[in-house]
């Protein structure tokens, strides 16, 4: 961590503007409805906190946590829910909020799992979309920022549990 080199990728001002735009788009799309917003722990919690406070529609929230089994940064593709949501989503409008779509494995698993529970609608909002490392085809419905590749930290995103509290998003340049 101490000898990590990093550069700002998205400043807090850029993030603020983009989150406001996303919230406006989501509010328009769900006008007159109540949204169930499900955050994926831990990475999405900062983004989700900012997003829901800018929504112009009522929402209720819940959280899920997933584990992906595999060595280090390489995911094996085996995903499991380690903390499930606590509410019933049948016939509800559900929006999953995630930090990053990378290989796409986590979100495609989660969408498949929640779809089986019979929501009225199910969409995904991802803060970042990393396009280069997809292993399964997956497109989020709402995306904050798109980048090709690289390891990013801050604004909820960690590096071995550190750096989540940084208000800006950085790209690590010496990994
Ligand atoms: P995937 O799409 O590969 O199944 O999983 C995405 C998850 O991997 C994200 O939710 C996030 O926790 C983690 N991840 C992927 N890329 C990065 C990154 O650049 N930085 C951080 N901190 N986490 C990442």
Please tell me the predicted confidence (pLDDT) of residue 72.
54
Nearest protein Cα to ligand 1, atom 23 = 157
Task: Kindly report the three-state secondary structure assignment for every residue of the chain.
Answer: CCCCCEEEEECHHHHHHHHHHHHHHHHHHCCCCCEEEEEEECCCHHHHHHHHHHCCCCEEEEEEEEEEECCCCCCCCEEEEEECCCCCCCCCEEEEEEEEECCCHHHHHHHHHHHCCCCCEEEEEEEEEECCCCCCCCCCCEEEEEECCCCEEECCECECCECCCCCCEEEECCC
Please tell me the predicted confidence (pLDDT) of residue 78.
87
**Which residues are within 8 A (CB) of 49 and not within 5 positions of it... i.e. 6 or more apart?**
none
Q: Is the CB of 100 under 6 A from ligand 1?
A: yes
Q: Give residue limits of the domains in the chain.
A: 13-148
Tens-of-pLDDT digits for all 175 residues of the chain? Answer: 668 899 999 999 999 999 999 999 999 999 999 999 999 999 999 999 999 999 999 999 999 999 987 645 555 668 999 999 999 999 999 999 999 999 999 999 999 999 999 999 999 999 999 999 999 999 999 999 999 999 999 999 999 999 999 999 999 998 7
Atom of ligand 1 nearest to the CA of 158: 22
Q: Compute the distance between CA of residue 74 and CA of residue 72 in angstroms, rounded to an integer.
A: 5
Regarding the domain delimited by 13-148, which CATH topology (the fold level of the hierarchy) does it fall under? Rossmann fold (3.40.50)
- Give the pair of three-digit tokens for residue 170: 């950085």
Contact 142, 156 (CB under 8 A): no
Please tell me the predicted confidence (pLDDT) of residue 74.
55
Model pLDDT for residues 97-143, shown as the tens digit of each residue:
999 999 999 999 999 999 999 999 999 999 999 999 999 999 999 99
Atom of ligand 1 nearest to the CA of 109: 4
The best mutation among 82, 102, 128 to test binding of ligand 1, ranked by most ligand atoms within 8 Å of the C-beta, falls on 102
16 is catalytic: no
Indicate which residue of 50, 99, 102, 129 is catalytic.
102
Q: What percent of the chain has pLDDT over 90?
A: 90
Strand-pair partners of 40: 64
């Amino acid at each position: 961590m101490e000898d990590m080199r990093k550069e700002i990728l998205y400043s807090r001002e850029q993030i603020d503007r983009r989150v406001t735009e996303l919230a406006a788009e989501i509010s328009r799309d769900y006008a007159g409805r109540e949204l169930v917003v499900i955050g994926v722990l831990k990475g999405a919690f900062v983004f989700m906190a900012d997003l829901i406070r800018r929504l112009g529609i009522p929402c209720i929230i819940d959280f899920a946590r997933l584990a992906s089994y595999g060595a280090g940064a390489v995911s094996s593709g085996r995903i499991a829910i380690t903390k499930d949501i606590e509410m019933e989503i049948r016939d509800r409008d559900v929006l999953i909020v995630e930090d990053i779509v990378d290989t796409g494995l986590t979100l495609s698993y989660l969408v498949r799992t929640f779809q089986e529970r019979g929501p009225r609608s199910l969409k995904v909002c991802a803060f970042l979309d990393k396009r280069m490392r997809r292993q399964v085809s997956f497109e989020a419905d709402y995306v904050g920022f798109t980048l090709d590749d690289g390891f990013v930290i801050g604004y909820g995103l960690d590096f071995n549990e550190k750096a989540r509290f940084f208000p800006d998003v950085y790209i690590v340049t010496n990994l």
